[in-house]
Chain A
Amino acid sequence: MTFSNSAELLSFHWVAYSIYSALIISVIAWFGYNLTRKEKAKSIVRIPFYTYIAFLVAGGVGHHIFTYNAIPWVSQDITRHDITPDASYKFQMEKQKWIGLPKERIIVQCGQTIEFDVQSRDLVYGFGLFRKNGSLVMQMQVNPGTDVNGILDSNDILWTFNHNGVFDLRSTEYSGPRAYGENGEDLLLVKDFMEVVGCKKDGGKK
């Protein structure tokens, strides 16, 4: 099982967590009901203590093993400095503004791996790409800072795009009220920042 983009992962997560929520609420409600009954309740299932503990450990650790194998951007993120991207975009942020963004909409071919390197000259910001329906493609934090030579620290991320779409850019971290206009409009929102083309309808290269 592999998720080719975040939309698939989020849908899976929605279903899995909803089932879990219904289950845990039901289990405790069942306990509550049976705590008050005089006649002995029949156990639906007997779970020995150490099996339960093993389940918790397996759940906690197994979750990460599952996502490492099922979510492609995890290993890519860890080894990103050894990967040569198909294209790189570098820009900065200062005083609640993007500086040096490409003038034209970025066009990405399906399956390309793109590097975004964002630097901040003053505050902590965020870098996030959003689909037109508002859902999150990916994000990272943008921390300010310089090295000993005064060169701004990098905040870099690699991302492989497997689905067509037009994405907006937003700062995903609060940088003060000046990031908004008088009426609350988001001044760091860049509509139609990039577009992915050339994928099949349900994802992947044509």
Chain B
Amino acid sequence: MSFKENLINGTNFDHKSLNALQKVTLRAVVMSFLFYGLVAIEGMIMRLVQVGPSNPLPEMFSHPDHYFSIMTVHPIVGIFGSTYQLVFAAFMFLVPFLTKKPLYSIKLANFVWLSITIGTALAWIAAFVWQYAPLYTLYWPLPADTSQFATIGGIVFIIGVALIMLGTFGFIYNIYATIFARVGVHKDKTTKELLISGFGIDGMLNLWNKLRGKQPYSKEPALALPVVAIFRGTVDTFLDAVVILSAGVLVLVYLLFDMGGSPLDVGAIDALLYKNYFWWGLDLVADGLVLIYVAGSWYLLATLITGQKLFMENVARAALMLELLVSWMVWSHHLLADQGQPEMMKLISGEMVTAFELLTQGLALFITLVTLWKARPLKMTMELKYLLGGLIGFGLAVPAAIIQADMGMNRVLHNTQWIIMAHVHIALIVGLYMTLYSALYVLWPIVTNNTKMYSSKMSNIHFWLYLIGGVGMGAFGGMAGLDGMLRRHLYVDGEFNTFMVLAAICGTMVLVAWAIFLVNIVMSVGIKGLIGIFLPAEDKTASYGIEPEVIADNHKV
């Protein structure tokens, strides 16, 4: 097939053969990767500005209004527009796939991706047009500071964020309604049984009974382990959405009063209390849903790739419960540099409970590796490569954060590039995204009805460029942080030039890797297929039932 033919028609992709669930999944995936491209370009712009006067960008990017507008929307587009979309799409497909029950509502799933897409676009427009730039932290009272920002920009931004959160609520409802639906294999299960399994209490009781030499509480838990992780992580997703939405409403009220000519007193809100509330919610993204979802995804991928039961499944179930509790109590590690924060909260929440994340994530890493190990020899497929890449990402990123969640270290690392590059970027770019790429390669044949990937060479180039670029960018940024480079600061004189040049080179590798991946996908589904994904599905089925064993067979040597 010629290049042109491939570009138009793809390999063997037929969008008409897709059912409603497959189509809605692919729509969100397409939007997610488009936003990923945007966020990678934004990241590169900021990196190049930090290189100093020798950077090739037009001067406007070094202007503080412009620069901090980009910094404000960069995490919104990256975390919500791209990551949330991809994770939500994967889970709204996986829950029906794993429970063998239809998704509760395809309409709601369509609302989710549309709402998040429009919301992200609005937040981006608010920053681009009105240069609304309070950053994602929204530290009170900066988002309501109308002496620095246009009120209308703030209103559009908050509406955008609110739409993202509404989409998030739609996802949560869809997931729980599907899990609790008493149809198919769950026809005879009670809500109580599903709840006990969802929270991993059955795993804990099994361990407890084993210690006492009794029979297991439940030999066949009502919910598969990955569904438990999705169930558990979604609790944090809900709490996080409530906090972000309520903070948004607070800002919106102040902005509307300001617009009406009777501004409210920003001093009425205690800045430190607000910080506590906001970080409690925001941290549920980083230390809650991401870690829990990732652990669940590793378990799923390890069992799908090997076709075997997970090693120490009861421990894994119980650890997910522990992770949920830990995630509610760790937010103070963001406030170790706040002198008004009570010392006991810094010590207990900020240091000690946070340290448990080393245990829970270390456990997930161990269980995943042993599950793979017990099934060797395995073929080094793309999904296995990406899974190992994801393990490297979190193996690097979690300790980087634990190191900073310490009262001594935080004094010299807080707000430096260390945390945002060596921890956040490596966790997201390498840890989370490589896990998601692994899931994508596993699910690709199921979601696209066995569409052939255009080029395995391109897949491999994408993998290596992405891994080396992602780790390198995080490492050089982290080194700059150790040398004192602040994270929410504009350096226009190239003060950290060497590290920023190296980080920019690695960032370029990530950007090129994304472009190669995108070309590979477009060449596989074709322009026609890409458009077809967004056309209504003829087959309205909301479930898909390929047996997991089929996936495992592909990995046997």
Chain A residues close to B by CB (< 8 Å) = 6, 9-10, 13-14, 17, 20-21, 24-25, 28-29, 31-32, 34-38, 49, 52-53, 56-57, 59-61, 63-64, 67-68, 70-71, 73-74, 77-78, 122-124, 126, 128, 130-131, 133-141, 143-146, 153-157, 170, 172-186
Contacts and interface: CB of A to CB of B under 8 A. Distances in A.
Given A60-B402, A172-B489, 9 more contacts: A13-B409, A17-B422, A60-B355, A141-B414, A143-B338, A145-B270, A174-B135, A174-B142, A180-B490
B380 A139 contact: no
A141 B141 contact: no
B443 interface: no
Given A28-B395, A37-B377, A123-B141, A143 B340 contact: yes
Nearest to A78: B343
Contacts of A25: 392, 395-396, 471
B142 A124 contact: yes
B208 interface: no
Interface stretch (B175-183, B210-218, B356-364): B356-364
B1 interface: no
B355 A64 contact: yes
Contact of B337 (A9, A74, A141, A186): A141
B272 A145 contact: yes
Nearest to B66: A177
Interface in B486-531: 486, 488-490, 492, 495-496
Interface string B364-401: 00100100110011111000110010011001100110
A24 B396 contact: yes
A141 B372 contact: no
Nearest to B390: A28
A29 B385 CA distance: 10
Contacts of B396: 21, 24-25
Contacts of B338: 140-141, 143, 155
Contact of B378 (A35, A175, A177): A35
13 contacts: A20-B399, A28-B392, A36-B380, A56-B359, A67-B408, A124-B140, A141-B339, A143-B275, A144-B271, A154-B339, A155-B340, A183-B62, A183-B492
Interface of B: 62-65, 67-68, 131, 133-135, 139-142, 145, 148-149, 267, 270-272, 275, 312, 335, 337-340, 343, 351-352, 355-356, 358-359, 362-363, 366, 369, 372-373, 376-380, 384-385, 388, 391-392, 395-396, 399-400, 402-403, 406-409, 411-416, 422, 471, 475, 479, 482-486, 488-490, 492, 495-496, 557
Contacts of A64: 351-352, 355, 406-407
Given A52-B362, A143-B338, A180 B64 contact: yes
Contact of A184 (B363, B415, B422, B492): B492
A67 B409 contact: yes
Nearest to B488: A174
Contacts of A63: 355, 402-403, 406
A178 B145 CA distance: 11
A56 B367 CA distance: 14
A73 B406 CA distance: 12
A196 B9 CA distance: 71
Contacts of A174: 68, 135, 139, 142, 488-489
A202 B477 CA distance: 29
A61 B355 contact: yes
B119 to A, nearest CB: 23
A60 B406 CA distance: 10
B268 to A, nearest CB: 11
A177 B65 contact: yes
Given A123-B142, A143-B272, A77 B411 contact: yes
A21 B253 CA distance: 47
Contact of A60 (B359, B384, B416, B475): B359
Given A31-B369, A53-B359, A73 B62 contact: no
A13 B403 contact: yes
Contacts of B267: 144-146
Contacts of B475: 21
A176 B340 contact: no
Nearest to A23: B395
Contact of B414 (A139, A145, A176): A139
